[in-house]
Chain A
């Protein structure tokens, strides 16, 4: 087995996350799928770090984690605000710009 197998796993996880973002309609589940995609990207970075023998990939993965944490905080606050005004967490309901 070689270290490249981790990249395949990460590709699969990323693809599953992308499908989830498109298919699911609960805003929180969509958000969790985005988190899954970020995690898959992190796994790629850590594996690249190992393949290249430098720690730069791990540093970038660390920054990704920080950005993901910020994104979760703001995103969930938006979901709560939308839920408060519309009593629904479905992303199909928030289509005000269309009409």
Chain B
């Protein structure tokens, strides 16, 4: 009988509830980013479980592949699709949620009772003999002897997936890309001629040069299109009037 020693038992009873709670939180939080972070935590916990169960190689691969690559890909796509696009938690199909929870309780109960029944009287062996030459060496020996054909097939699968992603991400242009000449012509034909030469720079020279202060026109009025629309929308625009040179001496003295 494989008796698990105390350190692993402590590790298990600390991390297993945390993993289950994080998974539940992933289900319940509204924002997709929070779900992703909780899932990353579950995956790190599983990596610790693997290492604790003499699967050193898989534990490291779990961290590198899942928390490193897959979760970063998820976060990347979340950024692309819109981080603040939070899920509305109202149900569209009536009665879906109670049915799903009932089914889950039934399924989970079945699963747990099945494990409980299936394992009665069966003695686990442990991996001491299989890992006697080292976990990585043992896995490599299996992978390149018994499982060499699945290994090759999996490589074909990886290449196919990479190709598939490229095909799906490929974006066919429906109209030709405008050339620089066409853009220049369009700038003069449409809109005012004042904007054709480019927008004025922000900042009141000599007193304040930051990008959040609109430039002053020759008649002293601020030029609103000299600062970014984002700053305006956020309300971060400063009044340029306060930086005006009021006490400047603009009398012209005749030089001899």
Among A25, A55, A66, A80, find the residue whose CB has the most chain B CB atoms closer than 10 A: A55
Knowing A12-B108, A32-B39, say if A73 contacts B162 (CB, 8 Å).
yes
In angstroms, Cα B104 to Cα A4, docked, is: 21
Contact A46 B50 (CB under 8 A): yes
* B119 partner residues in chain A, CB cutoff 8 A: 2, 4, 7
The A-B contact count (CB < 8 A) is 233
Contact B82 A50 (CB under 8 A): no
Contact B100 A19 (CB under 8 A): yes
- Interface residues in B52-92 (C-beta closer than 8 Å to A): 53-55, 57-58, 61-62, 65-66, 69-70, 73-74, 77-78, 80-82, 85-88, 91-92
* A18 partner residues in chain B, CB cutoff 8 A: 104, 107
Contact B130 A53 (CB under 8 A): yes
- Interface residues in A50-95 (C-beta closer than 8 Å to B): 50-56, 58-59, 61-63, 65-74, 76-81, 83-84, 89-90, 92
Main secondary structure of the interface of A (DSSP, over half): helix
- In this complex, the interface size class of chain A, counting residues with CB under 8 Å from chain B, is 35 or more
* B9 partner residues in chain A, CB cutoff 8 A: 1
* B3 partner residues in chain A, CB cutoff 8 A: 2
Q: Separation in Å of the A9 CB from the closest CB of chain B?
A: 5
Contact A58 B12 (CB under 8 A): no
* B217 partner residues in chain A, CB cutoff 8 A: none
Contact A55 B112 (CB under 8 A): no
Knowing A9-B19, A29-B35, A56-B142, say if A72 contacts B73 (CB, 8 Å).
yes
* A96 partner residues in chain B, CB cutoff 8 A: none
Which residues of A does B touch, CB under 8 Å?
Answer: 1-9, 11-20, 22-26, 28-29, 31-33, 35-36, 39, 42-43, 46-47, 49-56, 58-59, 61-63, 65-74, 76-81, 83-84, 89-90, 92
Closest 10 CB pairs of A and B: A53-B125, A70-B161, A77-B168, A11-B111, A51-B124, A15-B108, A1-B9, A77-B165, A22-B100, A26-B87
